[in-house]
Chain A
Amino acid sequence: MKLLQDIVVIDFSQFLSGPSASLCLSDFGAEVIKIEKPGTGDICRELYVSDVVVDGESSIFHAINRNKKSYAADLKNPKDAEKIRKLIAAADVVIHNFRPGVMERLGFGYEAVKKINPSVIYAAVSGFGETGEWKHLPGQDLLLQALSGITWLNNSSHAAPTPMGVSVIDIFSGAHLVQGILSLLYRRGITGEGGLVQVSMLESALDFQFEALTCFYNDGNALPQRSAINSGHAYVAAPYGIYKTKDGYIALAMADILLLAELTGCEKLKAYKDKREWFAKRDEIKALLRERLLENTTSYWLSIFEPKDIWCSRVLNYEELTQEEGYKALNMEIVVQTSNGLSIKTIRSPIKINGKVLSGSKGAPALGEHNALIEAQYKLNQNISEVQTVSDE
Chain B
Amino acid sequence: MVLPLQGVVVLEFSQYLSGPSAGLRLADLGARVIKIERPEGGDPSRKLAIKNLWIGDDALNFHTINRNKESFTANLKDKDDFELVKKLIQKADVITHNFRPGVMERMGLSYEDVKKINEKIIYAEITGYGKEGPWSMKPGQDLLIQSISGLTYTTGNSDDDPMPFGLSVIDSICGIHAVQGILAALISRQKTGKGAYVELSLLESAIALQFELFTTWFLDNNSVKRSKVSNGNPLLGAPYGIYETKDGYIALAMMNIQTLRRALECAELDQFHQGDVFQKRDEIKAIIRDVLKHHTTDHWLSLLHKHHLWAAEVKDWKQLSQHEGYKVLGMEQEIRLQDHSIITTRCPIRIDGEKLYVNKPAPALGKDTEKIKNELA
List residues of A whose CB falls within 8 A of some B CB.
Answer: 1-5, 16, 24, 28, 47-52, 54, 59-60, 62-64, 128-129, 131-134, 137-138, 140-143, 145-155, 160-168, 171-173, 175-180, 182-187, 189-191, 195-200, 202-204, 206-219, 221, 223-224, 226, 230-236, 240-242, 244, 249, 251-254, 276, 279, 309, 311-319, 321, 324-326, 328-330, 332-333, 344-355
Q: List 27 A-B contacts (CB under 8 A).
A: A48-B237, A52-B220, A132-B325, A132-B329, A149-B315, A152-B317, A161-B242, A165-B154, A165-B155, A178-B180, A179-B25, A187-B2, A195-B351, A196-B350, A199-B350, A215-B51, A218-B60, A233-B168, A235-B50, A242-B163, A315-B148, A315-B152, A315-B162, A326-B129, A332-B207, A350-B200, A351-B180
- Interchain CA distance A133-B329 in the complex, whole Å: 11
Contact, CB under 8 Å: B215 / A138? no
Instruction: Say yes or no: A215-B187 contact (C-beta < 8 A), given A242-B152, A353-B181.
Output: no
Q: Range of interface residues on chain B?
A: 35 or more
Tell me if B339 is interfacial: C-beta within 8 Å of chain A: no
- Interchain CA distance A165-B162 in the complex, whole Å: 11
Contact, CB under 8 Å: B180 / A311? no
Instruction: Say yes or no: A164-B240 contact (C-beta < 8 A), given A216-B317, A330-B201.
Output: no
Contact, CB under 8 Å: A138 / B310? yes
- Interchain CA distance A1-B193 in the complex, whole Å: 12
Instruction: Say yes or no: A253-B130 contact (C-beta < 8 A), given A149-B320, A242-B163, A326-B135.
Output: no
Contact, CB under 8 Å: A318 / B224? yes
Tell me if B85 is interfacial: C-beta within 8 Å of chain A: no
Residues 290-331 of B at the A interface (beta carbon under 8 Å): 310-318, 320-321, 323-329, 331
- Interchain CA distance A185-B249 in the complex, whole Å: 43
Q: Which of B68-76, B101-109, B227-235 contacts A (4 or more CB under 8 A)?
A: B227-235
Q: Which residues on A sit within 8 Å (CB–CB) of B320?
A: 147-149
Give the nearest-CB partner of B223 in chain A.
A52
Contact, CB under 8 Å: A163 / B233? yes
Contact with A along B63-99 (1 / 0, CB 8 A): 1110000000000000000000000000000000000
Contact, CB under 8 Å: B4 / A186? yes
Instruction: Say yes or no: A179-B196 contact (C-beta < 8 A), given A153-B167, A330-B133.
Output: no
Q: Which residues on B sit within 8 Å (CB–CB) of A214?
A: 60-61, 63-64, 342-345
The one of A140, A208, A316 in contact with B150, judged by C-beta atoms closer than 8 angstroms, is A316
Residues 207-246 of B at the A interface (beta carbon under 8 Å): 207-221, 223-224, 226, 230-237, 240-242, 244
Tell me if B56 is interfacial: C-beta within 8 Å of chain A: no
Contact, CB under 8 Å: B208 / A329? no
Q: Which residues on A sit within 8 Å (CB–CB) of B205?
A: 350
- Interchain CA distance A279-B48 in the complex, whole Å: 13
Instruction: Say yes or no: A313-B148 contact (C-beta < 8 A), given A64-B212, A211-B64.
Output: yes
Q: Which residues on B sit within 8 Å (CB–CB) of A198?
A: 349-350, 353
Q: Which residues on B sit within 8 Å (CB–CB) of A5?
A: 188
- Interchain CA distance A279-B59 in the complex, whole Å: 15
List residues of B whose CB falls within 8 A of some A CB.
Answer: 2, 4-8, 17, 25, 29-30, 50-53, 60-61, 63-65, 129-130, 132-135, 138-139, 141-156, 160-169, 172-174, 176-177, 179-181, 183-188, 190-192, 196-201, 203-205, 207-221, 223-224, 226, 230-237, 240-242, 244, 249-254, 274, 277-279, 310-318, 320-321, 323-329, 331-332, 342-345, 347-353
B212, B232, B274 pick with most chain A CB within 10 angstroms: B212
Binding site secondary structure of chain B: mixed
Q: Which residues on B sit within 8 Å (CB–CB) of A344?
A: 215, 218-219
Contact, CB under 8 Å: B149 / A321? yes
Contact, CB under 8 Å: B129 / A208? no
Q: Which residues on A sit within 8 Å (CB–CB) of B165?
A: 153-154, 164, 168
| Cβ of B44 to closest chain A Cβ, rounded Å | 11
Contact, CB under 8 Å: B141 / A253? yes
Contact, CB under 8 Å: B348 / A206? yes
Contact, CB under 8 Å: A143 / B215? no
| Cβ of A349 to closest chain B Cβ, rounded Å | 7
Q: Which residues on B sit within 8 Å (CB–CB) of A165?
A: 154-156, 226, 231-234
Q: Which residues on A sit within 8 Å (CB–CB) of B4?
A: 183-184, 186-187, 195
Q: Which residues on B sit within 8 Å (CB–CB) of A153?
A: 165-167
Contact, CB under 8 Å: B328 / A129? yes
Q: Which residues on A sit within 8 Å (CB–CB) of B314?
A: 146-147, 151, 161
Contact, CB under 8 Å: A202 / B177? no
Contact, CB under 8 Å: A210 / B344? yes
- Interchain CA distance A155-B202 in the complex, whole Å: 23
Contact, CB under 8 Å: A154 / B166? yes
- Interchain CA distance A140-B326 in the complex, whole Å: 16
- Interchain CA distance A183-B142 in the complex, whole Å: 27
Contact, CB under 8 Å: B310 / A154? no
Contact, CB under 8 Å: A54 / B219? yes
- Interchain CA distance A147-B142 in the complex, whole Å: 25
Contact, CB under 8 Å: B167 / A218? no
